[in-house]
Amino acid sequence: MTAPAGFTPKLIALDIDGTLLTTVPDTGYSVDVVSPAVRAAIDRALAAGCHIVLASGRAPLSMSMILEQLDLPRDPSSGEQALGVASNGAVTFSYPPMKVLTEVTFDAREAVATVMEHVPDAAVAVEEHGVGYRVNRHFPEGELDGEMILTPIDELVAMEVSRVIIRDPESTSEDFVELAAKLGLQGTSYFIGWTAWLDLAPEGVSKASGLAELTSRLGVAQENVLAIGDGRNDIHMLEWAGRGVAMGQSPDEVKAVADHVTETVENDGAAIEINRWY
């Protein structure tokens, strides 16, 4: 969508990694500290009555740490709760306390088996809400929050799940782009990260579908949403929002769908965009 004339956002949807948080050079891991400029911009938007919703590929448990850093919600003693889109849209939640509002699941057995035929040594993870992840092998240190519970792959996907992560440290993101295109992965949505990180999700699920659920709860129209993100998993969200803004370091395919491209995360691009309105 293209923002209408006189647009002022009533809800700002913010990706986390690469949008709110910078990354450590050479590792790709996020520095879990929101910059003072971005925090100040969010504070101004909140003071003006705008809703702030985090929309991430992360699990709810990991996202709660960022909500706390941003002091969201501002008045939990009154019963106010923050809302979030997790797991690339498969889960929506309120916090505190952590409560899953909606969860879309799917049978991932066929898709996982297909991918593993091509990357047999990959690490596979399935979210265990409030705990961490069940994994077939340990992921590189720092990539997953919470506990890692070793579990055979067959057991990981024996029941329907909301999301599957497939990680191959020996491959590149470009390798996974080519692999996903070649396999087709019918019946699923998939999102590819900066590294060789493939998220499998239920068909039709994205950050956009999760945001549609939460904006309906809040009574905010789609055209009044500002979305900011940097990754391939943000494409649907940027297309869906009244104004979709890509971070300056985004891949070209993300920039191509955005209404605007702001500065990089290192240059506080999210703050620059929010300050345009507040």
Is the CA virtual torsion 206, 207, 210, 212 positive or negative? negative
C-alpha 184/C-alpha 94 separation (Å) is 34
C-alpha 52/C-alpha 13 separation (Å) is 6
At 193, list the tokens: 């990260």
C-alpha 82/C-alpha 171 separation (Å) is 37
CB 139 within 8 A of CB 148: yes
β-pairing, 243-246 vs 260-261, is: parallel
C-alpha 274/C-alpha 132 separation (Å) is 32
Q: Could you tell me which residues come within 8 angstroms of residue 230 by beta carbon, excluding any fewer than 6 positions away?
A: 15, 18, 19, 246, 247, 249, 250, 254, 265
The domain covering 11-103+205-275 belongs, at the CATH homologous superfamily level, to HAD superfamily/HAD-like (3.40.50.1000)
CA dihedral 54, 58, 62, 67 (to 10 degrees): 0
Each domain of the chain, given as residue ranges in start order, spans 11-103+205-275, 109-202
pLDDT in tens, 112-144: 998 899 899 999 999 888 889 999 999 888 788
Helix, strand, coil shares of the chain, percent, nearest 5, are 35, 25, 40
> What pLDDT was estimated at residue 190?
82
Half-sphere exposure of 206 (CA within 13 A, CB side): 17
C-alpha 154/C-alpha 116 separation (Å) is 12
pLDDT in tens, 148-173: 999 999 999 999 999 999 998 888 88
Residue ranges, the chain, pLDDT below 70: 1-5, 24-30, 186-187, 194
CA 94 vs CA 4, 79, 215: distances in Å = 29, 11, 13
C-alpha 276/C-alpha 266 separation (Å) is 18
> What pLDDT was estimated at residue 130?
81
- Domain 109-202: which topology? 3.30.1240
